[in-house]
């Protein structure tokens, strides 16, 4: 075999936190690659800042560094580990850009590190818009007429093409910074945004090909120039909607064979011309439906979001094969895992149809533009498989798990007018119009969607006639026997189940469905650990999930995988086939928990904590009585059945108070209100249905998170985390530290006792997460969730104790007493988790943190002390704190005393301090030099002018008003637009000042998790 023996140690770069445009698919890709490279006998060094990933579990690499994906920390890793090669093609755009930087700054040459998978020239030819255009022309391939610009002046020349124009920044992910300019004002705005978003300050401005069909081909090539087309994917939306935001279909459905063969030929020509010799690439095309003219849009010289979809759609593991190609194998030498009989040079064949549907979260960002464009906005996706397009589309439709149903009210003409602008609810509107008898021609005239799809959608109900069967995904249309198949439901004339159960008992694990804000990759992490533990116990692990991005839907994570919607009907149908000994519902977040009562009612055995315990924790009345019995304090609260009842109860509870609907995910529709007028305004905006919770808000309390495991008798505390921000910021959006950095031993003992008492009283068998507020010397219980929490992966990485695996063992019948767990698993180091926000994706959104969760992902920093760990976490989250420059402060009156301390610390570090009049007066009284600048309402020159000019390096702004267009909102929006760090809590400001001070002395050293768990961190 030609496996390279001249390299022994390979550095793999991950993709960092989950952000819009770069999500869990790179955990799936990276985990596959690391596994393969270890199997091949290589040492693997992994760098990734995201603790919620499976790939950062220590067993997936020889050395795992949870460090910022920045040149400084990665150079430190290279200096320590001395890898022979760097594989940059499995960590999305982040890894590609970082590898390019390390090549250009001489780091790779200095330490003799070779780029494998894609070399520097290939990366540059694909990602640099000018190079790519020239390469395509030299290969005789057509691209859209375009201009490449590095300034607004150069960009203006593209206006001669005529509007609309499509603007694409170089070296960005998910279309970040780009868009469609239909007016001159939009053109100037998107050009400025795109130049700023591109790390090389370069944009491509294309003539409009809006309305053409959009297609992608997944292509793989080896060093012997063998090329295979893994999969074709078609966007149902015509050109103009980012492929990540479009409903897509595999294989493509509407091209003639002649045109499809042309696409294949051109895709092969593209990968050869760009020079990707050992790996996978994604090539995107536009096809004119009237003339069949083909235009090459772009190419990713790496594993992409679509690669994960193509892998799950075909059963062809692109990342795994790409890793083997990178170390010297050819396609014909790599066996197909699923058939065990065919090589990777054998192209997949599909005898079914796959539909991918994006998941959006516009409800989290009131006031933002929800129109879909070339700038990606979706936060997750689902995938469904069916024998026909109609079956796959219908299953994807019900896999979305929407928080609220789309608004399809209005006249036919009103709905048709809404169809003219692509939106998240476009297909709901189309189905509603067809129900009303509107013609396919009228819908096509407003959308440009191909007539074939519209005919299928108009007859969607016909797709589900017949008997439900379970079919296998085998990569070869049943030409060869499948050894490790996975399954999907199909409706056939007669039952034709292809499921083969073994003799072992099985346990079914319900996954978490599509990623969304409030329920992300952390829950998939727990489900994967559950599958591993079930298999280790000698049982078959059966996974049910519909998310193509995740490790849980990798075919070798479980013994049998069902790619199915997570609805009660679909899950019960699988239970009937599998007859499991039990079902695990507590690891996948709210998605499976919503099914618990229905499954129990149907006689299905649920493992671990039972539904009544979950209801006891969720039912405010029952939970309040339990706390009284345990003599635990809780903030005053009230339950109301209507807004009027809530307005009457609010003064008795006392202001300020937190208001929210019952049974919410990620703090959905939760707000902090200070008086009756604010509460009435909340009800007018949200119109809640059902029960309403009112809780007294404990202002300036310290919030604490606890993850624990109970076996029904004993309780083990896995981690106690102190939030950096005060209570009132959703736990998913707050930074937190492990161990707590300012709580004394007495309070920690009280927290441990309360957690143990609560877990036992609730009857928990498995994981529980409890949130507390420390208010003065008193401990208050905020809520308890007897299930996996989003902090489980972070605690597991920080302590070296795999909480989800331990909990699963308990749920399968083991006792904590026999596991030899440490009483206090925290070492001598400090770990900080920080949230990553998507505000830059949503122009007009407010960066103010509050009780409703809005983060998409998280990062982790580890160091000997809190300031250094916090600085690492900030850097990893993309909030690079300045070490010099100008700090702008404007804070509410109650925060002015603390702001004086922050100003003093930053002044001592050499920063220039500027502030609005009231804050400046308070700072001056302390004898600290400060410049006063105008509020926006006082006229120019004001603070926004300073930010827009680039004269402010850090903003600390705590809220003072409730108006959406207040000064604070405008300040925060300007800071986000300029990429200036913006801190909206006084505690966050204090932590930032300490972190800046720590960073001024030296960059904190890097350390691997393997060392951390073995020895701890030592200064």
Residue 846: pLDDT above 80? Answer: no
Phi/psi of residue 671, nearest 5 degrees: -140, 160
Report pLDDT for 199. Answer: 86
Residue 723 annotated as binding site: no
Percent of the chain with pLDDT over 90: 69
Residue 849: pLDDT above 90? Answer: no
Give CA–CA dist 502/678, Å, rounded: 60
Contact predicate 137/274, CB 8 Å: no
Peptide bond into 960 cis (omega under 30): no
Question: How much helix, strand and coil, in percent to the nearest 5, is found in the chain?
Answer: 35, 20, 40
Phi/psi of residue 91, nearest 5 degrees: -115, 30
Residue 241 annotated as binding site: yes
Residue 298 annotated as binding site: yes
Query: Domain for residue 287, yes or no?
Result: no
Write the pLDDT tens digit of every residue in 237-256.
Answer: 999 999 999 999 999 999 99
pLDDT-derived band of residue 964, with 50, 70 and 90 as boundaries?
Answer: very low
Residue 380 annotated as binding site: no
Contact predicate 881/992, CB 8 Å: yes
Q: Are residues 684 and 574 in the same domain?
A: no
Residue 785 annotated as binding site: yes
* Residue at token pair 């809006």: 210
Residue 803 annotated as binding site: no
Contact predicate 684/422, CB 8 Å: no
When pLDDT is averaged across residues 474-483 and rounded to a whole number, the result is 69
Q: Which of 321-325, 803-807, 848-852 has the lowest mean pLDDT?
A: 848-852
CATH number reported for the structural domain that contains residue 975 in this entry: 3.40.50.1380
Query: Domain for residue 678, yes or no?
Result: yes
Residue 300 annotated as binding site: yes
Write the pLDDT tens digit of every residue in 12-70.
Answer: 999 999 888 888 899 999 999 999 999 999 999 999 999 999 999 999 999 999 999 99
Report pLDDT for 686. Answer: 78
Residue 719, classed as helix, strand or coil, is strand
CA 622 from centroid of its chain's CA atoms: 34
Residue 928 annotated as binding site: no
Short-list 76, 12, 69, CA closest to 1007 = 76
Write the pLDDT tens digit of every residue in 522-556.
Answer: 999 999 999 999 999 999 999 999 999 999 999 89
Total number of domains constituting the chain: 5
* Residue at token pair 């309402």: 937
Query: Domain for residue 594, yes or no?
Result: yes
Residue 594 annotated as binding site: no
Residue 1017: pLDDT above 70? Answer: no
Residue 292 annotated as binding site: no
Q: What is the mean pLDDT of the chain?
A: 91
Report pLDDT for 284. Answer: 96
Two tokens, residue 949? 């000019």
Q: Are residues 557 and 647 in the same domain?
A: no
CATH number reported for the structural domain that contains residue 672 in this entry: 3.30.1490.20
Bridge-based pairing of strands 540-545 and 560-563 is: parallel
When pLDDT is averaged across residues 564-592 and rounded to a whole number, the result is 96
Two tokens, residue 155? 């960009």
Query: Domain for residue 381, yes or no?
Result: no
Report pLDDT for 963. Answer: 38
Q: Where in the sequence is the domain holding 596, given as residue range(s)?
A: 499-604
Residue 853: pLDDT above 90? Answer: no
Q: Are residues 649 and 593 in the same domain?
A: no
The helix (run of H) or strand (run of E) holding residue 32 is helix 25-39
pLDDT-derived band of residue 337, with 50, 70 and 90 as boundaries?
Answer: confident
* Residue at token pair 């004339």: 493
When pLDDT is averaged across residues 259-279 and rounded to a whole number, the result is 94
Q: Are residues 885 and 922 in the same domain?
A: yes
Two tokens, residue 819? 């596991």
Residue 699 annotated as binding site: no
Residue 960: pLDDT above 60? Answer: no
Residue 671, classed as helix, strand or coil, is strand
Q: Are residues 651 and 566 in the same domain?
A: no
Please give the residue that has the higher pLDDT: either 604 or 175.
Answer: 604
Q: Are residues 23 and 82 in the same domain?
A: yes
Determine how many CB atoms are found less than 10 A away from the CB of residue 527.
31
Residue 692 annotated as binding site: no
785-794, 934-943, 958-967 — most confident range:
785-794
Give CA–CA dist 42/953, Å, rounded: 44
Report pLDDT for 24. Answer: 87
Q: Are residues 86 and 156 in the same domain?
A: no
Q: Which residues pair with 308 in a beta bridge?
A: none
Q: Are residues 567 and 672 in the same domain?
A: no
Residue 6: pLDDT above 70? Answer: yes
End-of-domain residue from the set 558, 588, 604:
604
Query: Domain for residue 761, yes or no?
Result: no
Residue 168 annotated as binding site: yes
CATH number reported for the structural domain that contains residue 529 in this entry: 3.40.50.20
Residue 284 annotated as binding site: yes
Q: Which of 417-431, 479-493, 876-890, 953-967 has the lowest mean pLDDT?
A: 953-967
Q: Which of 205-209, 357-361, 688-692 has the lowest mean pLDDT?
A: 688-692
Report pLDDT for 975. Answer: 82
Contact predicate 424/360, CB 8 Å: yes
DSSP state string for 201-262 = S-EEEEEP-TTSEEEEEEEEE-TT--EEEEEEEEESS-TTS-TTTS-EEES--SS-HHHHHH
Residue 698 annotated as binding site: yes
Residue 510 annotated as binding site: no
- List of residues 6+ apart from 561 with CB closer than 8 A: 486, 487, 542, 543, 544, 545, 553, 555
Burial of 929 (0-12, 13-18, 19+ CB in 10 A): exposed
Residue 240 annotated as binding site: yes
Please give the residue that has the higher pLDDT: either 76 or 839.
Answer: 76
Write the pLDDT tens digit of every residue in 673-685.
Answer: 888 988 998 888 8
Report pLDDT for 478. Answer: 62
Percent of the chain with pLDDT over 70: 97
Query: Domain for residue 928, yes or no?
Result: yes
Q: Which of 694-703, 741-750, 972-981 has the lowest mean pLDDT?
A: 972-981
818 DSSP assignment: G
Longest Cα pair distance anywhere in the chain, in angstroms?
85
Report pLDDT for 621. Answer: 85
End-of-domain residue from the set 99, 127, 155:
127
Residue 729 annotated as binding site: yes
Residue 968: pLDDT above 80? Answer: no
Residue 209 annotated as binding site: yes
């Amino acid at each position: 075999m030609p496996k390279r023996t001249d390299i022994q140690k390979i550095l793999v770069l991950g993709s960092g936190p989950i952000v819009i445009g770069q999500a869990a698919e790179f955990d799936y890709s990276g985990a596959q690659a690391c596994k393969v490279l270890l199997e091949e006998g290589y040492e693997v060094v992994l760098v990734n800042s995201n603790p919620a990933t499976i790939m950062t579990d220590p067993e997936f690499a020889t050395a795992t560094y949870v460090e910022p994906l920045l040149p400084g920390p990665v150079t430190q890793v290279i200096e320590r580990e001395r890898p022979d090669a760097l594989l940059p093609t499995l960590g999305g755009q982040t890894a590609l850009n970082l590898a390019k930087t390390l090549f250009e700054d001489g780091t790779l040459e200095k330490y003799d590190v070779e780029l494998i998978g894609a070399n520097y020239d290939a990366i540059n030819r694909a990602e640099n818009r000018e190079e790519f255009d020239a390469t395509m022309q030299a290969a005789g391939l057509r691209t859209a007429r375009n201009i490449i610009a590095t300034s607004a002046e150069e960009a203006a020349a593209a206006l001669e093409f005529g509007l609309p124009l499509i603007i694409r920044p170089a070296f960005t992910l998910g279309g970040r910074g780009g868009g469609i300019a239909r007016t001159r004002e939009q053109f100037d705005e998107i050009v400025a945004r795109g130049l700023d978003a591109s790390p090389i300050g370069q944009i491509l401005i294309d003539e409009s090909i809006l309305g053409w069909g959009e297609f992608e081909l997944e292509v793989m090539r080896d060093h012997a120039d063998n090329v295979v087309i893994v999969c074709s994917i078609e966007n149902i939306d015509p050109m103009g909607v980012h492929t990540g935001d479009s409903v897509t279909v595999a294989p493509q459905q509407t091209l003639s064979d002649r045109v499809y063969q042309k696409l294949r030929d051109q895709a092969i020509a593209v990968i050869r011309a760009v020079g990707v010799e050992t790996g996978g690439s994604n090539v995107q095309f536009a096809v004119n439906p009237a003339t069949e003219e083909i235009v090459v849009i772009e190419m990713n010289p790496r594993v992409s979001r679509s690669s994960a979809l193509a892998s799950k759609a075909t059963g062809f593991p692109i990342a795994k094969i790409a890793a083997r190609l990178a170390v010297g194998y050819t396609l014909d030498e790599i066996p197909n895992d699923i058939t065990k009989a065919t090589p990777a040079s054998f192209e997949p064949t599909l005898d079914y149809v796959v539909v991918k549907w994006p998941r959006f979260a516009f409800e989290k960002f009131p006031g933002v533009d929800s129109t879909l464009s070339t700038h990606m906005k979706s936060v997750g996706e689902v995938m469904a498989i069916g024998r026909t397009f109609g079956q796959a589309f219908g299953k994807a439709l019900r896999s979305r798990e929407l928080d609220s149903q789309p608004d399809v009210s209005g006249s036919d003409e009103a709905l048709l007018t809404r169809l003219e602008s692509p939106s998240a609810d476009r297909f709901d509107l189309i189905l509603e119009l067809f129900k009303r008898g509107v013609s396919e021609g009228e819908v096509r005239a407003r959308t440009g969607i191909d007539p074939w799809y519209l005919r299928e959608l108009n007859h969607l109900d016909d797709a589900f006639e017949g008997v439900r069967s379970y079919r296998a995904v085998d990569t070869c249309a049943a030409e060869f026997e499948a050894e490790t198949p996975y399954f999907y439901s199909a409706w056939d004339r007669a039952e034709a189940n292809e499921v083969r159960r073994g003799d072992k008992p099985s346990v079914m694990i319900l996954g978490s469905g599509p990623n969304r804000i409030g329920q992300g990759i952390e829950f998939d992490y727990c489900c994967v650990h559950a599958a591993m533990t079930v298999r280790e116990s000698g049982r078959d692990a059966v996974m049910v999930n519909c998310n193509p991005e995740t490790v849980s839907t990798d075919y070798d994570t479980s013994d049998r995988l069902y790619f199915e919607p997570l609805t009660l009907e679909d899950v019960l149908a699988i239970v009937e086939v599998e007859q499991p000994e039990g079902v695990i519902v507590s690891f996948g977040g709210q998605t499976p928990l919503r099914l618990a009562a229905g499954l129990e009612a149907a006689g299905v055995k649920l493992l671990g904590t039972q539904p009544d315990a979950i209801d006891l924790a969720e039912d405010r009345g029952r939970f309040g009585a339990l706390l009284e019995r345990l003599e635990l304090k809780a903030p005053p609260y009230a339950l109301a059945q209507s807004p009027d009842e809530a307005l009457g109860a609010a003064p008795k509870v006392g202001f300020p108070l937190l208001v929210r609907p019952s049974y919410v995910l990620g703090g959905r529709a939760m707000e902090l209100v200070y008086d009756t007028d604010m509460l009435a305004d909340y009800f007018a905006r949200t119109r809640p249905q059902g029960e309403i919770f009112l809780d007294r808000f404990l202002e300036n309390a310290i919030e604490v998170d606890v993850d624990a495991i109970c076996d029904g008798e004993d309780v083990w505390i896995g981690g106690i985390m102190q939030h950096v921000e005060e209570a009132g910021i959703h736990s998913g959006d707050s930074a937190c530290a492990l161990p707590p950095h300012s709580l004394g031993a007495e309070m920690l003992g009280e927290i441990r006792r309360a957690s143990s008492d609560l877990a036992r009283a609730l009857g928990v068998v498995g994981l529980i997460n409890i949130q507390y507020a420390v208010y003065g010397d008193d401990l208050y219980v905020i809520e308890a969730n007897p299930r996996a929490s989003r902090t489980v992966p972070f605690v597991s990485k920080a302590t070296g104790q795999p909480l989800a695996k331990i909990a699963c063992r308990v749920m399968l019948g083991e006792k904590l007493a026999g596991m030899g767990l440490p009483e206090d698993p925290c070492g001598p180091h400090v770990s900080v988790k920080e949230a990553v926000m998507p505000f830059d994706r949503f122009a007009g959104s407010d960066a103010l943190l509050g009780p409703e969760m809005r983060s998409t992902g998280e990062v982790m920093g580890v160091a000997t002390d809190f300031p250094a760990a916090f600085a690492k976490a900030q850097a990893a989250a993309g909030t690079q704190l300045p070490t010099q420059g100008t700090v702008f402060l404007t804070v509410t009156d109650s925060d002015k005393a603390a702001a004086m301390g922050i100003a003093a610390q930053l002044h001592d570090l050499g920063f220039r301090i500027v502030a609005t009049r009231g804050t400046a007066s308070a700072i001056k009284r302390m004898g600290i030099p400060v410049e006063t600048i105008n509020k926006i309402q006082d006229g120019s020159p004001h603070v926004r002018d300073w930010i827009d000019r680039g004269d402010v390096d850090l903003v600390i702004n705590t809220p003072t008003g409730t108006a959406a267009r207040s000064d604070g909102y405008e300040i925060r929006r300007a800071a986000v637009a300029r990429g200036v760090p913006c801190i909206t809590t006084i505690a966050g400001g204090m932590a930032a000042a300490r972190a800046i001070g720590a960073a001024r002395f030296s960059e904190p050293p890097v350390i691997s998790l393997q060392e951390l768990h073995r020895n701890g961190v030592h200064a």
